[in-house]
Structure formats: C-alpha cells, structure tokens
Structure 1
Amino acid sequence: MAEAYPWQDSLWQQLAGRAQHAHAYLLHGPAGIGKRDLAERLMASLLCQRPVNLEACGECKSCLLLKAGSHPDNYLLEPEEADKAIKVDQVRDLVSFVVQTAQLGGRKVVLIEPVEAMNINAANALLKSLEEPSGDTVLLLVSHQSSRLLPTIRSRCVQQACPLPSEAMSLEWLGQALPDCSAEERTELLTLAAGSPLAAVKLQAQGVREQRALVVEGVKKLIKQELSATQLAESAWKDIPLLLLFDWFCDWSSLILRYQLTQDENGLGLPDMRKVVQYLAQKSAQDKVLNIQDWILAQRQKVLGKANLNRVLLLEALLVQWVGLLGRR
C-alpha cells in the first residue's frame, strides 16, 4: 500500500472523492513530495472492488492482484532503464492495452512516471489514447518537470499541482523518517533537497552530507590555492554526481549575486559556505558572476539531457571559472 502523507490530505479528498473521474490526470510538482505514492494510492482506490472511505480495501480480488503485481487491468509505464527515455514502442504496447476490455469488469488504470521521459515520438503516440481512451480507462501521469511536456499532452489532462509541504510539516515527518539524524542534520538535508522531504531521505541514503563536506573542503582549498582545478576534477570529486555538483555551484552563484544586491547576511545559505559566499561576493565583479551562472545553467541542462560529456574537462572548466571570479587563473 502506498504511503499517505499528511500534506496530501486535502488533495486526496479532492481527487479520490470525485463522483466522476476524468480520463487523464497530470499530477505535477517538484520531485520528492510523494506524487508517485499519491498516484499509486489513487490507482488502488480506482481498481478496488470494495473501497472503504475512499481507500482501497486491500482484501478484494482486485487489491490482492494489484499487490501481487499481476492485475490484468493495471498498466505501469516507466523507462526501461533508470534515467533513460520512454520509447515509442513502449507507448505502442500501452495503446494496445488501453483498447482492450477490462478483464475484471471494472476500470483499467494506467500509471506513467515520469511522463517527461517520453521522447517526442512516444509522446505523439500517446495523444490519441489521452484524448479518447477506450472504455472506462483512467490514465495517471506523474511529472516532476511539467514544463518539458508537449502542450498537447498537458491540454488533454486534468492538471493537478501537488503541494510542497511546509518546512514545519516536512521536519516533523523527517523526524519519524530519519530518527537517527539530529534536528540540525534534518534541516540541512531538507535545505539541500529544496524543501522536498522524500528527496531529503534519498539524499541521506546517498551520503550527500559527506559528499557536500568533501566539495566544500575542495572549494576552500581551491580558493586558497592549496589544490588545483585539475586535482579536484580528476580525483577528489570523481564519485560525486555531476548534477549534484552543478546544483550546488548554481546555488552558490545565486547566493553571491543576492548578497551583492542586498548585503543581507541572513541570505548566505547553509553555514558550511557562508563565509566563502560572502568573500566571493565582496571580491567578484557582478558581470563575472552573471556569466558563470549562465554557463553553469547551460551545462546543467546538458547533464539533465544526458549529453555525452567529458566529466573531467567539464569540472576543470567549472573550477577554472570559479577561481576566475577572484581574477586568478
């Protein structure tokens, strides 16, 4: 059974309590807030033969088949490999499922996640099923970046923004999810996860705090000229995900700009980099900071797009420009 999160209570009542369901829902919002669990919960409720208070009963034939992963009227579409595209042949198989009659005599329910993983041909292949699904079929589309979807996909769905929980609610939930972490550590993880509590739990499992400490130490040594850009790029950071590195440098460049504009010492980010951010803001020309931020965002987009990048050369270019903020090469 998918977990029910307290910040979804109102949305759940709204979705599951509908007298008549739309043929397609687009559940969108930041990663790490429980959209997939919400979709699975709704899928179970829609397929259940004897729902209780809007929830699946967990005991009927439909619920037991769904739990066993063998429900004939349920279809899950996701990338065949992590972080890869959903291909057009996968969507064609889905379309074949949609036109069939429900074997248990009720609804058919399709879950697609993440829907933005569909390439252009796959997305186009899905359009007719979204517009005119066969029989009593409900399609649940989960998106972490709905801006990447074709307008024709979005327009054929009931679009439902999923709420980001408040900081207080997230920290309360994280207290139960990460009981071995201190309150300070949970706050740091939530900040690193941009306020998404499930993402914070995932980051903790990946050892993100240790990885960040390594990166922060490297940046400080780079600025003090105790390590070179090449040394950091080739060895010290070799096991740290590129996207994580670019996220942090993008955040730091934004904090530098913010401080240059406001001189607000309360807006310097997490404690581990506050002094560095403030120092760089005081020593750097604003046009240089703007240029490196544009460059970081462009490279980050390439990383997201799975471009074939030379990791060492890319990191070396990043670090040379970072040191260049101080007028050094």
Structure 2
Amino acid sequence: MAEAYPWQQGLWQQLAGRQQHAHAYLLHGPAGIGKRALAERLMALLLCHKPVGLEACGQCKGCYLLAAGTHPDNYVLEPEEADKAIKVDQVRDLVSFVVQTAQLGGRKVVLLEPVEAMNINAANALLKSLEEPAGNTVLLLVSHQPSRLLPTVKSRCVQQACPLPDQASSLAWLAEALPECGEDERRELLTLAAGSPLAARRLHQQGVREQRALVVDGVKKLLKQQASASQLAEAWKAMPMIMLFDWFCDWSQAMLRYQLTRDETGLGLADMHKVVQYLADKTPQPKLLAMQDWLLQQRQKVLGKANLNSVLLLEALLVQWASLPGPG
C-alpha cells in the first residue's frame, strides 16, 4: 500500500471522493512531494472490488494481485532506464493493453511516470488512447515538469495540481523520517530540495551535504586560483549534473538579487554567503545576466537528456564562473 502523506489529505478526498472518475488524470507538481504515491493509492482504489470508505480494502482478489505485481488489468509505464526517454514502442505496447477487455471484469488502470519522459513520437502515439480509452480504462499520468508536455496531451486530461506542502508540515514529517538529523540539518536539506520533503530525504540518503561541501570548497579554491576548472570538473563528474546546475543557477540569481536590493537575507545558504556577496560586488551586471542565460540554456539541455560530455560542460561552466570578477 502506498504511503499516505499528511499534506495530501484534502487532495486525496477530492480525488478519491469523485462519484464518476475521468478517463485520464494528470497529477502535476514539483518532484519529491508524493505524486507517485498519490497515483498508486488511487490506482489501488480503482482496482479494488470492495473499497472501505475512500481506501482500497487490501483483502480482495484485486488488492492481492496488485500487491503481488500480477494484476492483469494494471499497467505501469516508466523509462526502461533511469533518466532515459520513454520510447514509442513502449507506448504502442501500452495502447495494445488499453484496447483489451478487462480480465477481472472491472476497470483497467494505467500509471505513467514521468509523462515528460516521452519523446514526441511516443506522446503522439498516446493521444488516441488519452482521448478515447477503450472500455472502462483510467490513465493516471504523473508529471514533475508539466511545462514540457505537449498541449494536446494536457488538454485530454483532468489536470490536478499537487502543490508543495508548507514548510511546517515538511519539517514535521522530516523530523519523523530523519530522526538522526538535527533541526538545522533538516532545514538545510529542505532548502536544497526546494521545499520538497521526499526529495530532502532522498538527498540525505545520497549524501548531498557532503557533496555540497566539496563543491563549495572547490568554488572557493577556483576563485583563489588554488584549483583549476579542469581539475574540479574531473572531480565532480560523478555528481548529478542537474544538481550542480541548479546550485550555480541559484547562486547567480542570489548575486543578481543582491546587486538590485543589497539585501543580505537573500544570499541563500550560509555556506556561500561570502562568495555570493563578493561575486555580486565584483561582477558587472551585463556579464552576470549573460552567465545566467548560458546556465539556463545548458540546464535545459541537461533536462532534455541531451548527449553531453559532462566533464567538458562542467569545465566550460567553471571557466566562465572564474572569469566573473572583473570587467565585462
């Protein structure tokens, strides 16, 4: 049974309490807030033969088969490899499932995550099934980046926004999920996860604070000319590329914010306060804006799963970063 998160209570009652379900839902919102768990709870409810209130009973044949991963009327579509695209052949297999008759005589339920992993051909192959799914079929689509979806995909679904929980709810949940961490550490993890509590827990498990310390130390050595861009790029190549670009984007935004407001409360996490303030004072604004544009362009390529040489890309980033102080 998927976990029920406290911040989803109202959303769950809204979704599960519908008298008649749509043929397709698009659950969208930031990563790390429990959208997959929400979709799995709804999937279990829709496949249950004897629901108890707004929950699957967990005791009927449908619930037993779903728990065993052998339910004949359930289909889960994900990338074949992490961070890879969902291919058109995978969607064609899904379409073949959708047109079949439900073997247990009830609903068929499809879970697809993340929707934005579909390439153009795959998305187009899904459109007919989204518009008119055969029989009593419900498609549950989960998206972390709905802006990347085709309008034709979004228009065929009931769109359900899944907002971030408030900070108090997230910190209360993290206190139970990460009792070994102190409150300051949990707050830092939540900040690094952009407010997403499940992402904060995952980052802790991945050792993000240790990674962050290495990167911050490397940036300081780069600016003091104690380490070269190529040395740091090689040392960081195993780190998640999107995480590194997110940090540099955050730092460049904090620099611009400080240039415009001189407000030290907007400098971000304490580990980079002095560096951000120094660079903001020493970098001409047109140069900083050009750096931001470049960062966003490269970040988009990383998100788009472009075939990039990570070491060369990081080296290019660090060379430009080192050249920020000084004339444009």
TM-score bracket, normalised by the shorter chain, equals over 0.9
Q: Aligned partner of 1:311: which letter? A: S
1:151 is matched with which residue? Answer: 151
Q: For structure 1, which segment, 180-189 or 238-247, has the greater mean C-alpha deviation from structure 2 after superposition?
A: 238-247
- TM-score relative to the length of structure 1: 0.98
Instruction: Map 1:91-130 to 2 at 5 A.
Output: 91-130=91-130
Instruction: Map 1:270-281 to 2 at 5 A.
Output: 270-281=269-280
Report SS of the residue matched to 2:104. Answer: coil
Equivalent residues, number: 328
**Tell me, which stretches of 5 or more residues in structure 1 are unaligned?**
none
Instruction: Tell me how far apart the structure 1 counterparts of residues 139 and 325 of structure 2 sit (CA, whole Å).
Output: 53
Q: Aligned partner of 2:4: which letter? A: A
1:284 is matched with which residue? Answer: 283
- Superposition deviation, residue 328 in structure 1: 8.5
Identical residues among aligned pairs (%): 80
Provide, for residues 21-60 of structure 1, a one-character-per-residue CA deviation record: whole Å limited to 9, x for no partner.
Answer: 0000000001000000000000000110111121001010
2:19 is matched with which residue? Answer: 19
- Superposition deviation, residue 303 in structure 1: 1.4
Report SS of the residue matched to 1:27. Answer: strand
1:38 is matched with which residue? Answer: 38
Instruction: Map 1:45-124 to 2 at 5 A.
Output: 45-124=45-124
Q: For structure 1, which segment, 288-297 or 298-307, has the greater mean C-alpha deviation from structure 2 after superposition?
A: 298-307
Report SS of the residue matched to 2:46. Answer: helix
**CA shift in 2, pair 1:25/1:302, >3 Å:** same
Provide, for residues 201-247 of structure 1, a one-character-per-residue CA deviation record: whole Å limited to 9, x for no partner.
Answer: 1111111100000000011111112112122122x323222211111
Instruction: Map 1:165-180 to 2 at 5 A.
Output: 165-180=165-180
Q: CA RMSD in A?
A: 1.2
Provide, for residues 133-172 of structure 1, a one-character-per-residue CA deviation record: whole Å limited to 9, x for no partner.
Answer: 1111110000011111111110000000012100110000
- Superposition deviation, residue 312 in structure 1: 2.2
Q: Report if the CA contact (8 A) 1:7-1:163 is conserved.
A: no
1:256 is matched with which residue? Answer: 255
Instruction: Tell me how far apart the structure 2 counterparts of residues 214 and 106 of structure 1 sit (CA, whole Å).
Output: 54
Provide, for residues 83-126 of structure 1, a one-character-per-residue CA deviation record: whole Å limited to 9, x for no partner.
Answer: 11111111111111111111111111110000111111111111
**Tell me, which stretches of 5 or more residues in structure 2 are unaligned?**
none
Report SS of the residue matched to 1:195. Answer: coil
Q: Does 1:215 align with 2:215?
A: yes
- Following TM superposition, where does structure 1 have runs of at least 4 consecutive aligned residues deviating by more than 4 angstroms? none
Report SS of the residue matched to 2:59. Answer: coil
Provide, for residues 155-194 of structure 1, a one-character-per-residue CA deviation record: whole Å limited to 9, x for no partner.
Answer: 0000000121001100000001111111111100100000
Instruction: Tell me how far apart the structure 2 counterparts of residues 303 and 261 of structure 1 sit (CA, whole Å).
Output: 29
Report SS of the residue matched to 2:179. Answer: coil
